[in-house]
Structure 1
Amino acid sequence: MTRAGGRSGARPPRASGPGAASKAAGGRARAGGPAKSKPAAGAAGRGKRPGAAETSPPRRAAGVGRRQDERGTAGAGSVPPRGPAQPRAAAKAQTAETLASGVQTLAVGPDEAGMRLDRFLVARFPQLAFTHIQRIVRKGELRVDGGRVKPNDRLEAGQQVRVPPLKLASARPSSRTPAQDEGDAAFIKSLVLYEDRDIMVLNKPMGLAVQGGSGTRRHVDGMLEALRDKEGQKPRLVHRLDKDTAGCLVIAKTRLAAATLAKSFRSRAARKIYWALVAGVPRVKQGRVSTYVAKEEGEEGDSRMGVARHGDEGASHAVTYYALVENSAQKLAWLSLKPVTGRTHQLRVHAAHIGHPIVGDPKYFDIENWELPGGIQKKLHLLARRIVIPHPRTGTPVDVTAPLPPHMAQTWNLLGFDASRYDPIVDSPDE
């Protein structure tokens, strides 16, 4: 079922800064609730594939988009009694003993509740390579409450994590120099849109990876090493952005903040808005795209996500709202996107699914013989424009907006788009 709708007005989206220490770097931050919303008409576009997009009228209206995170639960099988939570100093001492003595069981502390298993291990064993940690989890050598787990499973306070023998040879001595630390710290600080004693929101540049991987040496997670506090705590990632997606990236500065923020993402209390430039113009100005997505093999043998059917292996439900903001000569369109769920490459897959892939997308742009207008760079035109999330300590909404990255600012200027224009996605409902 498809219904046309949508509107645009003259008022621009607002954003300001919380009462705590706030910094601006071309974007804006504020404390307070999101803008009032009105129901939007539902519709998905054209070019449907198996697991076609579903459109429906909204049930209720509120601010901006919600969650951008995956669910996960750690633990299975036989569950031993949970011991009392340990003080942090005792936990560190226990970790050191594990490295020296072989198999040990670690208790998850209250400030570690909600952490992904792999992140818990990184925090406890910072000298071990992340790839090594993921390998022992995949092989089933590491157990939580006696059961096998996945790297992205979430932990609960009091759970027992059985760690296999870890060879000291696997440890990675720090090769960082004071100059590197100073440079990385200065670079991260230059990206800050908002900061207080609990969290930072960074304006991640396009092309900078959030986490390390095969062949990726420079990434946000690695540079956060330069910002360890006096107790040795490193700021923590609580969600991710694709390497080529620019914009708002939330960082927790303490374990407690990380656990609280992770819960906000899982419960959809964190709301996001993305901006994208897409090929063509959707016939329906505002709509809801609802499909299942799963991993598939690309044409060149690479891994990618694709639209799937309910019941397919690995298929997860994905929902995105979109709104047309402006278009240029019916060839290009500025879309505002609000993900309800947070699947890998969700917005890129959904844009391609409705027949309007994101400009510069190397994986999902599937229109043959399509020529990019002169002056527009062939880079991914996707920005994590705005995030609204409850503060982990006070609960007050932190509302942060990121500016257009240079390549998108150039495109907006060439096409005559006004970045201060009212964003109609705020009229779409929350779920």
Structure 2
Amino acid sequence: MKPQVIEETRNWVAINKPPNLVVHDVPGNKHAGSTLVDWLRRQIPEINDNFESADERPGIVHRLDADTSGIILVAKNPNSLKELQTQFKERTTIKKYWALVLGTPPAQGTITGDIVRKSSDTKHEIKRLSFSWDKKAAKMAETSYKVLKTYQSNFSLLEVQPKTGRTHQIRVHLSEEGWPIIGDQLYCNKESRQASAELDLKRQFLHAKKLEFNDPESKERITIQAQLAPDLEQILKRLE
């Protein structure tokens, strides 16, 4: 699967990122040699024209985990990059994800809890995060959700909105509530691992579905939506 352009202006481009694609190269990258930045430099001329060749994150406004699919916003020039990054920092953007979890949460709710690194597998560069009451190290995180649909009485499709932007926030919060994301091999339990194996899902069922932000030039409110990735669509069809 290749990245797909959802919408494009002279200042930014919204991409539907496929799974198994890192945004930019990092140490220990298991997908080394193929990144979204590589694709952008080949496909979007303004990236090479307006950013230095040594820039490892040209135009990258925000991040998505390698195995998470969906919308990622890319600026085409430094001024737009600064403006869009400020919106993310000040939390004036709205990000909504779809996640399939094991369990049946209440119809809607908000999860609040501090997140901190718990341990690290340095061999594989895996950062495991969890709740913490150590206020010196932890960062406050808040996530709201609503149930979109329930499948087979024990799977729930959620629309999830992170109010903060902590690493692995959605995955940690849902797992800590007892609703691990199907396919997640890091924040999981025995039952969710078994369900993931039975569904033959090779990555977490997490998709950046919707993004709202202000155009950096016109200040118009923009809403972008990304079609669900094919592998996730197949999972939902199997559960029908």
Q: Identify the TM-score tier after normalising by the shorter chain.
A: 0.7 to 0.9
1:390 has 2:214 as partner = yes
Q: Tell me the CA shift for residue 368 of structure 1.
A: 4.8
- Report deviation, 1:392: 0.5
Give the letter for the 2:49 counterpart.
G
Alignment of 1:94-109 (within 5 A): none
1:225 to 21, 38, 41: 41
Structure 2 counterparts to residues 90-129 of structure 1, below 5 A: none
CA distance in 2, matches of 1:233, 1:369: 45
Distance 1:405 1:344 in 2: 22
- Give SS of 1:409's match: helix
Flag the structure with larger Rg: 1
Among 7, 11, 29, the alignment partner of 1:198 is 11
Query: Is the CA contact (8 Å cut-off) linking 2:143 and 2:163 kept in structure 1?
Result: yes
**CA offset digits 1:210-237 (Å, max 9, x no partner):** 1101242211123322334398214510
Rounded to whole Å, the distance in 2 between the matches of 1:369 and 1:273 is: 23
Aligned to 2:71: 248
Equivalence for 1:211 = 24
Change (3 A) 1:409 1:351: same
State the SS of the aligned residue for 1:229: helix
| Residues paired across the two proteins, number | 226
Amino acid at match of 1:270: T
Provide the C-alpha distance between the structure 2 equivalents of 1:367 and 1:333, rounded to a whole number of angstroms.
18
CA–CA distance in 2 between the matches of 1:230 and 1:378? 32
Matched residue SS, 2:86: helix
TM-score normalised to structure 1 length? 0.50
| Amino acid of the structure 2 residue aligned with 1:330 | S
Q: Which of 100, 107, 115 in structure 2 is aligned with 1:285? A: 107
Unaligned 5+ residue runs, structure 2?
52-57
Distance change >3 Å, CA 279–CA 345, structure 1 → 2: same
Separation (CA, whole Å) in 2 of partners of 1:361 and 1:277: 10
Pairing of 1:47-86 with structure 2 (within 5 A): none
The percentage of counterpart residues that share the same residue type is: 29
2-side partners of 1:398 and 1:310: how far apart?
A: 38
Residue segments in structure 1 that go unaligned for 5+ positions in a row: 1-186, 417-431
Q: Which amino acid aligns with 1:288?
A: T
- SS of the residue 2:49 aligns to: coil
* Larger strand proportion of the pair: 2
Query: Which residue pairs with 2:223 in the alignment?
Result: 399
* Partner amino acid, structure 2, of 1:393: E
CA distance in 2, matches of 1:231, 1:332: 44
Contact 1:352 1:358 in 2 (8 A): yes
Is residue 2:180 matched to residue 1:364? no
3-state SS of paired residue (1:311): coil
For 2:150, the aligned partner's letter is N
CA distance in 2, matches of 1:413, 1:256: 43
Within 5 Å, which residues of 2 pair with 1:125-204? Answer: 191-204=4-17
Residue matched to 1:155: none
Q: Which residue of 1 aligns with 2:80?
A: 257
In structure 2, the CA distance between the partners of 1:370 and 1:203, relative to structure 1 (3 Å rule), is closer
Q: Equivalents in 2 of 1:280, 1:398: separation in Å?
A: 34
| Of 117, 120, 129, the match for 1:295 | 117
Q: 1:237 to 1:304 in 2, by over 3 A?
A: same
For 1:370 and 1:253, the matched residues in 2 are separated by 40
Structure 1 counterpart SS, 2:212: strand
Which has the higher relative contact order, 1 or 2, with Cα contacts under 8 A spaced 6 or more apart? Answer: 1
SS at match of 1:257: helix
The answer to whether the 8 Å contact 1:359/1:378 transfers is no
